Amino acid sequence: MDVWSSTFGSFLLAFSALFSIVNPISGAMIYSQVTADRTHAERLTLARKIGIYAALVLLVALWGGASVMSFFGITLGALRIAGGVVVSVSAWEMLYQRQQKEDRKIEQAAPAAVENDIAFFPMTIPFTTGPGTISVAIALSSTHPPLTANNAPFFIGVSLAALAIAALVWVSYSFADTLVRLLGPGRSRVVTRLFAFLLLCIGVQILLNGVSDTFGEILARYANQIYHMR
């Protein structure tokens, strides 16, 4: 029962954070504008490719991002602090500068919209899973040490969350026109800001964990030195 509870808890944490930064609903509205000159069949094919690429990007960042950072000598505490800052800043921008961010995404995707295959670049990176999303995924993976039997539920949960987000991207982009008609700009912004606030809370928590780890280690070393000096 504890295993299922831990897996489900990790899934909810990762899903909330990734949904907030990826925001498939808002992305679908932009996707509808960028691919307006394509046929329905082409848009469905493109949406499927973007969903697959998004899953790969998220899984690589979740499973290998923290290991790559540690390879370069970056401590877990420093990674959590940096990740928490990036997540918090991204959430803050989503709360107060969302329209500018959407306009920037449109500008990034539009120049390449005339090309035949734009699924990976720019529609997956940086449009759907850009640097902010990758930073969130790495920050999430840094909340636990490397994969072992004890924390396997965590990695299973976050991996399922990444696949769920990729599936939502696929579905949202496939039915982009329907979402635009149902939600409209106003409701889309409300959903975006609700999840942005949740993402801000998650970012602050990751930052606090990193500060606690870093200063806890420093205090432990200091106490150890004082003990041996006696």
pLDDT tens, position by position, 51-66: 999 999 999 988 887 6
Rounded distance, CA 13 to CA 157, Å? 9
Q: Which tops the pLDDT comparison, 220 or 119?
A: 119
Q: How far is CA 130 from CA 21, 114, 163, 212, in A?
A: 9, 21, 16, 29
What's the pLDDT band for 11 if we cut at 50, 70, 90? Answer: very high
pLDDT at 73: 74
47 pLDDT above the threshold of 90:
yes
pLDDT over threshold 50, residue 121 = yes
Predicted confidence (pLDDT) per residue in 130-156, tens digit:
777 887 888 787 766 555 556 788 889
Neighbours of 226 (CB within 10 A): 9
Query: How many Cβ atoms from other residues are within 10 Å of residue 121's Cβ?
Result: 15
Mean pLDDT over residues 17-45, rounded?
84
Of 28-37, 170-179, 195-204, the range with the lowest mean pLDDT is 195-204
Q: Would you tell me how many other CB atoms lie within 10 Å of the CB of residue 39? A: 9
Name the pLDDT band for 223 (thresholds 50, 70, 90).
Answer: low
Predicted confidence (pLDDT) per residue in 179-212, tens digit: 877 877 677 667 667 767 776 787 787 788 778 8
pTM (two decimals): 0.70
Mean pLDDT score across all residues of the chain = 77
